[in-house]
Amino acid sequence: MEIPAQRPKPSDGIDSGSEDRLTDLPEDLRLRILANTRDVAVAARTSVLSSRWRRLWRLLPGLIFPFPSDPHRVHLALQSHEAPALRLLEAGVLDGTPDSVAPWLLIVAPRLTGRLSLTSRAAENGSAEDMADERGAFELPCCQNAVSIRLELGPLGVSMPPLGVFTRLNDLSLVRVQLHGPCMLGDLVSSPRCPVLRKLIIKHSSGLGNLAIHSDSLLGICLKDVHLHPADALGPGHVTIESKSLLQMGLTSVHSLQQLTVTAPALDFFYVDSCFADYRAGASRHNQPVANIYAPRLKSLYWHDAYDPSSTQFANIENLETLGAYLFRVYGRDDYAPNNYLLRLLKRFQLFLNIRLMLTYIPDITDGQFLIEDIARLPNITRMSLDICPLGHSVGASVFHLLRMSTGLKTLWITLVATTSDPEVQTVCPSGCGCDHPSNWKTEELALNLLEEVEIHELRGTEHEAALIKRLFDWATVLKKMTVTFQRSVNESEAKEFFQMLQSFSRPEICMKGPCFA
């Protein structure tokens, strides 16, 4: 008979006066534990555990002050911090002012070797720009060894340092920033002061002045919803980009832009959307915006904006593969300006492989002309992406018109953009609507002998959609795969029933994927 071993009493083999195992951990592991709290205040409270935890938080290589932190408490913590270098400072402060933020940024600047992220928000409501004027601005100190800086300041204004070199900075993001001061942002982000900057993002900001960037390191630039406020004698609204390394660039809603100059021999992707709004609204030709683009390696161009070949010049753009153009109104009057922008672009760029268009319908097309017939030819494209806002109408006639000019197509992607949430806008076309005309798309044969893949997204399960998809099966004789997704407003049973109907049109060799929900 075996006698079970006796369990030791809790005190057996244990010195009741010794440190607990957590405290006995090496210092680097204890620092890692503190770092995982992701809150300086929480890390500091571990000082009560034992003498070995006391003051340990002061050696943390990264400090995180979650929103809403008191900027004065951030200052006190940084004054107590003892680590010689900071790999991370992340602070979200409430009601920051220049006097409460600037002092501790001066403490951080010489020690920062990694990422700085500063977010400031106000408790009260009001225009961020007006509040920034009231609160004034602080000067961002030169963080010589910072690798990444992200500022989201809301009502807190900021000025760029007039001197100093950001020797290691490769990522700069300015979000909801009101820029002040004599130093132009372009001076700061150009190569002499940011020699290794790779990515520049500016969103929802103002006070840029005339932006002129000369960089040998930038790979990507994104400007979105920014306001150009003239600050020198060069005239209003100038953006000048000169870079040998730039690969991607996007401009969206750059307000008051009058002159755009881009010299980027390595540029691969270029996106412009709603930057020349004044001209679209009918500005005089005297104030017509001017754009000069030199990008001989450009492969993807998305130009969702005003275009006039007399004022917008694309020099040596001979390698274009993808063209994305401004929205095109399918029915209406022939003086609709965006339609003319697309037609001019198609005349300028006659060789490319892929096209992306946005087609829009108006609620009542009774007196409208079938404008898509103005697109008389397309290059020998292999991929077509159509974003269509049908407002309940049939899109078969317009899709057919484009497809019969694209018999070399291999991939077709159609997204039926969700209709407006405005209850006053109809989403079902009225009885007798002429959206099915010209009706030749219902009977005429079309040989899409290379089309292998079709994707149709945001379906609503309408008769118009079913009719178009049935014709696609007829036209695409070598189709291998079709994928369909539905709008979330369509319930699951309806989607399955519609998908089963589509399968009845299909052929055994076609792989049908669905129903999925977008």
* CA nearest neighbour of 326 among 307, 354, 313: 307
Give SS3 for 251. Answer: strand
CA torsion, ordered 134, 137, 138, 139, to nearest 10 deg: -170
Q: What percent of the chain has pLDDT over 90?
A: 60
Give CA–CA dist 390/220, Å, rounded. Answer: 35
| Among 47-51, 289-293, 357-361, the least confident range | 47-51
Each residue's pLDDT tens digit, 381-394? 999 999 999 998 99
Is the pLDDT assigned to residue 14 strictly greater than 50? no
Give CA–CA dist 246/197, Å, rounded. Answer: 11
Give SS3 for 348. Answer: helix
Is the pLDDT assigned to residue 426 strictly greater than 60? no
Residue written as token pair 């109907």: 501
Supply the mean pLDDT for the chain: 86
Give CA–CA dist 174/151, Å, rounded. Answer: 5
Which of 33-37, 228-232, 336-340 shows the highest mean pLDDT? 336-340
> Phi and psi (nearest 5°) for 159?
-120, 150
Instruction: Give the pLDDT score at 22.
Output: 59
Q: Name the helix (H) or strand (E) containing 23.
A: helix 21-24
Is the pLDDT assigned to residue 371 strictly greater than 80? yes
Q: How far from chain centre, in Å, is Cα 134?
A: 31
Each residue's pLDDT tens digit, 79-103? 888 888 899 999 999 988 999 999 9
Instruction: Give the pLDDT score at 124.
Output: 64
Q: Name the helix (H) or strand (E) containing 501.
A: helix 492-505
Q: Are 169 and 196 in contact (CB under 8 A)?
A: yes
Give CA–CA dist 157/120, Å, rounded. Answer: 10
Give CA–CA dist 390/419, Å, rounded. Answer: 7
Q: Are 93 and 74 in contact (CB under 8 A)?
A: yes
Give CA–CA dist 195/197, Å, rounded. Answer: 6
Each residue's pLDDT tens digit, 49-70? 555 666 777 878 888 898 998 8
Instruction: Give the pLDDT score at 517.
Output: 72
Instruction: Give the pLDDT score at 389.
Output: 94
Q: Name the helix (H) or strand (E) containing 346.
A: helix 337-348
Q: What is the mean pLDDT of residues 187-193?
A: 95
Is the pLDDT assigned to residue 416 strictly greater than 60? yes
Give CA–CA dist 216/190, Å, rounded. Answer: 8
Entry pTM: 0.85
Q: What percent of the chain has pLDDT over 70?
A: 84
The region that residue 392 occupies, defined by phi over 0 for left and psi between -120 and 50 for alpha, beta otherwise, is left
| Among 22-36, 154-168, 202-216, 475-489, the least confident range | 22-36
* CA nearest neighbour of 89 among 71, 72, 110, 112: 112
Instruction: Give the pLDDT score at 260.
Output: 94
Instruction: Give the pLDDT score at 410.
Output: 97
Other C-beta atoms lying within 10 Å of the C-beta of residue 492? 10
Each residue's pLDDT tens digit, 71-81? 888 998 888 88
Q: Angle CA(257)–CA(262)–CA(268) in degrees, nearest 5?
A: 120
The DSSP code for 47 is: G
Is the pLDDT assigned to residue 3 strictly greater than 50? no
| pLDDT band at residue 24 under the 50/70/90 scheme | low
Helix residue ranges per DSSP H, 349-481: 396-403, 463-475
Instruction: Give the pLDDT score at 6.
Output: 45
